[in-house]
Chain A
Amino acid sequence: MANGHPSFLALLFPPPALGSYRTLKMESDEPDGHSLSRRAEWCDVTPLPQDDGPNPVVPIAYKEEFRETMDYFRAIYQADERSPRAFRLTRQAIVANPGNYTVWHFRRLLLQTLNVDLYEELDFLQQIANSNSKNYQLWHHRRWVVERLGIDARAKELQLTKKILSLDAKNYHAWSHRQWVLQALGGWEDELDYCQQLLEEDIFNNSAWNQRYFVITRSPFLGGLKAMRESEVRYTVEAILAKPENESPWRYLRGLYKDNIEVWVNDPQISLVCLKVMNAKSNYVFALSMLLDLLCHGFQPSEEFRDAVDALWTSDNHPLDSDLAKAVCCILEHVDSLRASYWRWRKCKLPLAA
């Protein structure tokens, strides 16, 4: 026995780096309040201080508890000790600094070696999720765990991301995770409805629009972009007309015709929504912008478009250009003056009038 300890202590002090532990249950691991250095469990381990050197820069004034946790972690990590106590220590280190990707990585090695119940791991992640919902390492770890659990974990993941999104409907990591779950494990059936619901709550939620695009293009139940286009155009046009200042549906509308410019240019619904918004004379920047794009791609406007554009120009001093695209650029230069430089550039780039 190492260190000459009597053999009955072997159960309390499992020697390091044995790989033979079976399905290890997580004991509730509330710290007993004593620092690691005073706990019998750790008495055989020499903590390893950080090799900061004599004059480190960006030195952090670690609290004693933090320093100690990390000193013991370093020792365990360097020794590659795959034990239950090492596993418990990684939790402590993660709670102290959830950004320490080395600890997370080592925890994954331990999960494998110790064959820990991965559903319990999900519970652990759940406990720290709310205060760490924007932490890359946590989400990556979760993905790793769920990958190993497979389809049985799917419902829980969709539920978790939904909950996080109910608190912050644009959490980038939550959306990313949700997308990964759908692609890896399925569950697409209710996703379009979910997007719908989020958009009803907040039509300006661009993440929800992005998710909608994700669903209609990738869901195995929906037949793909072309099949969905007609109904989606109707939905999007309605959203635009309700709030023409909302950029999201405009970009979404354009996205519905990705790789299908010809169809986009010739679809009367597209030019019609631009016309309607221009005629309403309110919040028409995106309408003008889309009209400009249409014209650049060969759209042949009827007189109505010319009339609508002219109606937006109120200066008597400078008549509008006879070329409609140039005229649109001029108006945009003035009504969207923050982007005047961009509109000047667009005007420069226009093909010469026939």
Chain B
Amino acid sequence: MESFPSLTVTQRDQILVEQQVFNIYKAFYDMPPSSQSLMLELQRENHVEYLTNGLKHLGPSFCVLDANRPWLCYWIIHSIALMDEFLDPELEDNTIDFLSRCQDPNGGYGGGPGQMPHVATTYAAVNSLVTLGGDKALCSINREKLYTFLRRMKDPNGAFRMHDDGEIDVRACYTAISVASLLNILDDDLVQDVGNYILSCQTYEGGIAGEPGSEAHGGYTFCGLATMILINEVDRLDLSSLIDWVVFRQGVEAGFQGRTNKLVDGCYSFWQGGVFALLKRLQSTKGEQSVPMGDGEDSGAGSPQTTASSDATGAEGLNEDSSQAGSHFEQGEPHDASCPVVVENIDHNSSKRRAKVEPLFNCLALQQYILLCAQEPGGGLRDKPGKSRDHYHTCYCLSGLSVCQHSWSEDEDSPPLPSAILGSYSNLLEPIHPLYNVVLDRYQEAHEFFSRS
């Protein structure tokens, strides 16, 4: 064991977080079962109240998100939809009206009324409207103009800019392609060379970076993988190294980190966890010859802080060998054994069935992190204990929770088994469409709507 003074910054930061998290787990472990049930409960009412309040009123400190208001709409509305709640019709109407005022006459949505259109806020606005659903919301999107906006954002090298003379990165590619796909305006001109750019962003680690040469990062890995799937070029990625990188992003705290050797953060529950939902979907669309979730016959593999348009300081975010209780084989790892991951492995009868469906990441452990460490008692979710709640983390922790709960489901129609849900079955959230991160049946309505035109 190292003497204390010679710990590096990474080690020190990591130990501090581990201590906080393990204190929570240990306290949980020592509780009677009735208290444990309470701790594992998703605080729906409190979260919905926090979210709805945000939709109606935000304090002065939110001025740092004054260019991100469609994001605030999306984080809030999507979270509420995940909990299968509905907005008052009046609030819905107000949202549709507000987002229309963010829409630029020449296409795309800006961060607020009168602001330049921006690809990320366009994504947020469109996703919000799709989540609200209904003719009024969906008709309010000017698709023709939006298409011209996206064409204008297209860079000769294949990638997309965030706005006129804005930055180019993998997030911009994802938000542009996602919107185009959802609105059924994706064409060869938009798709051209995007794959090349994203491919150039897959790093030696296996994950995907924001720009060529940068570090592999969970937010960009999600964006890059989703984009490649949307443009049907996913096989060009080195999927086995991407998978290997992502599985190792889940740490002893049970949550995910955004980058190697960085700290756990609740939002990566979605950015990293969502990668597995994407991969699973790949397998079901391609059948036997596809990549992940194999049974033995598979021949094998044929990677944001955030997608917000700014990484605001002060408010919301953008811009990374455990001993298991019950294991009776020698660990060999000099790890702090007082940090049990409390959940037991799922026991399934058919190992072949399990092999076919079993998620590649530890989804019960992730649920544990989200429910025990990321929830704020008064409503809202957060990065980690000690950090404040915010709408961004609420959205992505809940999205990650949904991914976990549905990760065992073989198809969209069968509800998850109780064994897949940590805590009471009432914790169950709506399933999402992992490519867009909108609630699945809202996606389906929008898909039908935009297929008609």
Quick check: which of B95-103, B144-152, B179-187 contacts chain A, the rest being far away? Answer: B95-103
Q: Does A135 contact B (CB under 8 A)?
A: yes
Q: Does B135 contact A (CB under 8 A)?
A: no
Q: B8–A201 contact, CB under 8 A? A: yes
With A51-B114, A137-B310, A210-B203 known to touch, is A58 a contact of B73 (CB < 8 Å)?
A: yes
Q: Does A247 contact B (CB under 8 A)?
A: yes
Q: A97–B63 contact, CB under 8 A? A: yes
Q: A349–B341 contact, CB under 8 A? A: no
Q: Does A85 contact B (CB under 8 A)?
A: no
Q: A48 → chain B, closest Cβ, in Å? A: 8
With A60-B60, A341-B358 known to touch, is A136 a contact of B167 (CB < 8 Å)?
A: yes
Q: B322–A57 contact, CB under 8 A? A: no
Q: In the bound complex, how far is the Cα of B164 from the Cα of A144, in angstroms?
A: 13
Q: Does B296 contact A (CB under 8 A)?
A: yes
Q: A202–B72 contact, CB under 8 A? A: no
Interface centre among A99, A137, A176, A258 (most CB of B within 10 A): A99
Q: A337–B322 contact, CB under 8 A? A: yes
Q: A314–B329 contact, CB under 8 A? A: yes
With A100-B66, A169-B9 known to touch, is A52 a contact of B98 (CB < 8 Å)?
A: yes
Q: In the bound complex, how far is the Cα of B102 from the Cα of A50, in angstroms?
A: 11
Q: In the bound complex, how far is the Cα of B311 from the Cα of A97, in angstroms?
A: 11
Interface residues in A98-120 (C-beta closer than 8 Å to B):
98-102, 105, 108
Q: Encode contact with B along A32-50: 1 for CB under 8 Å, 0 otherwise.
A: 0000000000000000101
Q: Does B210 contact A (CB under 8 A)?
A: yes
**Total number of B residues with any Cβ neighbor in A under 8 Å:** 101
Q: In the bound complex, how far is the Cα of B26 from the Cα of A329, in angstroms?
A: 29
Quick check: which of A11-19, A21-29, A150-158, A281-289 contacts chain B, the rest being far away? Answer: A281-289
Task: Select from chain A the residue with minimum beta-carbon distance to B328.
Answer: A315
- Residues of A contacting B114 with CB < 8 Å? 48, 50-51, 74, 77-78
Q: Encode contact with B along A218-260: 1 for CB under 8 Å, 0 otherwise.
A: 1000000000000000000000000001111001101100100
Q: Name the prevailing secondary structure of the A interface residues.
A: helix
Q: Does B134 contact A (CB under 8 A)?
A: no
- Residues of A contacting B118 with CB < 8 Å? 101
Task: Select from chain B the residue with minimum beta-carbon distance to A251.
Answer: B205
- Residues of A contacting B313 with CB < 8 Å? 131-132, 134-135
With A314-B329, A340-B345 known to touch, is A349 a contact of B300 (CB < 8 Å)?
A: yes
Q: In the bound complex, how far is the Cα of B69 from the Cα of A58, in angstroms?
A: 7
Q: B95 → chain A, closest Cβ, in Å? A: 5
Interface residues in A330-354 (C-beta closer than 8 Å to B):
334-342, 344-345, 348-349
With A52-B113, A108-B165, A210-B215 known to touch, is A61 a contact of B60 (CB < 8 Å)?
A: yes
Q: Does B23 contact A (CB under 8 A)?
A: no
* Residue from A57, A74, A315 within 8 A of B91 (CB atoms): A57
Q: B75 → chain A, closest Cβ, in Å? A: 9
Q: A116 → chain B, closest Cβ, in Å? A: 17
Q: In the bound complex, how far is the Cα of B90 from the Cα of A57, in angstroms?
A: 11
Q: B59–A97 contact, CB under 8 A? A: no
Q: Encode contact with B along A272-284: 1 for CB under 8 Å, 0 otherwise.
A: 0000000001111
Interface residues in B94-126 (C-beta closer than 8 Å to A):
94-95, 97-98, 101, 110-116, 118
* Residue from A175, A254, A348 within 8 A of B215 (CB atoms): A175
Interface residues in B283-319 (C-beta closer than 8 Å to A):
292-296, 298, 300, 305, 309-313, 319
Q: A206–B358 contact, CB under 8 A? A: no
Q: In the bound complex, how far is the Cα of B62 from the Cα of A62, in angstroms?
A: 8
Q: B140 → chain A, closest Cβ, in Å? A: 13
Q: B324–A337 contact, CB under 8 A? A: yes
Q: B362–A341 contact, CB under 8 A? A: yes
- Residues of A contacting B453 with CB < 8 Å? none
Q: B291 → chain A, closest Cβ, in Å? A: 10
Interface centre among B210, B262, B329, B359 (most CB of A within 10 A): B329
- Residues of A contacting B355 with CB < 8 Å? 344-345, 348
Q: In the bound complex, how far is the Cα of B212 from the Cα of A179, in angstroms?
A: 9
Q: In the bound complex, how far is the Cα of B9 from the Cα of A349, in angstroms?
A: 38
Q: Does B55 contact A (CB under 8 A)?
A: yes
Q: In the bound complex, how far is the Cα of B358 from the Cα of A206, in angstroms?
A: 30
Q: B359–A341 contact, CB under 8 A? A: yes
Task: Select from chain B the residue with minimum beta-carbon distance to A286.
Answer: B248
- Residues of B contacting A105 with CB < 8 Å? 116, 163-166
Q: Does A324 contact B (CB under 8 A)?
A: no
* Residue from A172, A175, A282 within 8 A of B332 (CB atoms): A282
Q: B58–A283 contact, CB under 8 A? A: no
CB-based closest 6 A-B pairs? A255-B204, A99-B310, A204-B10, A202-B8, A206-B260, A58-B72
Known pairs A101-B310, A349-B296 / 6 extra A-B pairs, C-beta < 8 Å: A99-B66, A135-B310, A176-B211, A338-B341, A341-B359, A341-B362
Sample 9 A-B pairs with CB under 8 A, ordered by A number: A63-B60, A101-B310, A207-B215, A210-B215, A218-B213, A338-B321, A340-B345, A345-B358, A348-B296
